[in-house]
Amino acid sequence: MLEFKNLIYQKEANIGIITLNRPQVFNATNSELLGELAELLDEIAEDEEVRVLILTGGEKVFVAGGDIQYMSQATPLEMERFIALGHKVYDRIADFDKPVIAAIAGMALGGGCELALACDIRIAADNARFGQPEINLGIIPGAGGTQRLSRVVGSGWVNYLIMTGKIIKADLALKIGLVTEILPAEQLMTRAGELARELAAKSPVAMRLAKSCLNNGANGSLSSGLLYEQKVWALLFATEDQKEGMAAFLEKRKPEFKGQ
C-alpha cells in the first residue's frame, strides 16, 4: 500500500475506509490531494478483498471546498487542469465498481458537496452543512455540482442552492434527498460501518452490475436504460452468486456470495 500525505487508508475485513487528511485547511482540495485520491482508488479497485468503500473527512469536517489560497493565485490554464483532474477523480468514484458510502460530518461545501454527490450513498452527522457557495466567489461549481446535484435533488433545489450560494443544515439536506440518514456525530462512523457490512454481504458481481445499470440509466434514455437492464439481468443467471442466492433462499439460510 502506498504512503499518502493527505489521506489515511484503513482496511477492515471487506471494507476500505479513506479519510481525507488536510486538517489545517479543513480538507480543502488541491491537485496534490486529488492526485493521491486517484492513485489510492486505483489501488483499491485491484483489491478483491474490498467490497465496499467508505469516504470520510473525520469527525469535524468533510471537505470545506477547493483550496481558495491555491486557486486565487492560479492561471486559467492551471485551473482547467485542476478541474479536469477533479472531474477525473469524481467520475472514478461515481463509476467505481464497489459501492461508495460518504460519511459526512461538518462542512461539505463546494467541491466537498460535489465529492459527496459522486458517492452512491450519503449519510450525515447532525452537525453536517452542505452548499455550493461558489457564486459568492464570482465562480460556479466546476466539479459536477451543476450536473450531479440536479440528478439528486431536482431542478428547483439545485437552482436555489447554486444561485443563492446558501449553506443548508443536515435536516434540510435529508428533506430534499441529498442524504439518506442523519446521526449524532459520535455515531456516524459506527453507522457507516454497519451499512458497509450490510452491502459487503451482498453479491459483489450483482452489486457491480446494479451500479452500472443505475449509472447507465442516469446518463441515457429510458429505452436504452431498460434494454441494458434486461441484458444485465439475464447475464446474472450465468453467475455462481445467482445460484447461491436462490439456493439459500429456498433452503432458508443466509447466502455466501463469492463474487463469481
pLDDT of 18-52, one tens digit each?
999 999 999 999 999 999 999 999 999 999 999 99
- One domain, residues 111 and 165: yes
- One domain, residues 189 and 217: no
Tell me whether residue 32 is one of the annotated catalytic residues.
Answer: no
The answer to the question of residue 69 being in a domain is yes
Structure confidence at residue 19 (pLDDT): 98
- One domain, residues 71 and 194: yes
Confirm if 153 and 177 have CB atoms less than 8 A apart. yes
Q: Average pLDDT, stretch 222-234? A: 92
Domain count, the chain: 2
- One domain, residues 84 and 184: yes
**CATH number of the domain residue 182 falls in:** 3.90.226.10
Annotated active-site residue in 114, 194, 229, 256: 114
* % of the chain at pLDDT higher than 70: 100
pLDDT in tens, 107-158: 999 999 999 999 999 999 999 999 999 999 999 999 999 999 999 998 899 9
Cα distance between residue 102 and residue 119, in whole Å: 6
Annotated active-site residue in 134, 240, 251, 256: 134
- One domain, residues 75 and 49: yes
Tell me whether residue 134 is one of the annotated catalytic residues.
Answer: yes
Confirm if 126 and 184 have CB atoms less than 8 A apart. yes
CA-based end-to-end distance of the chain: 26
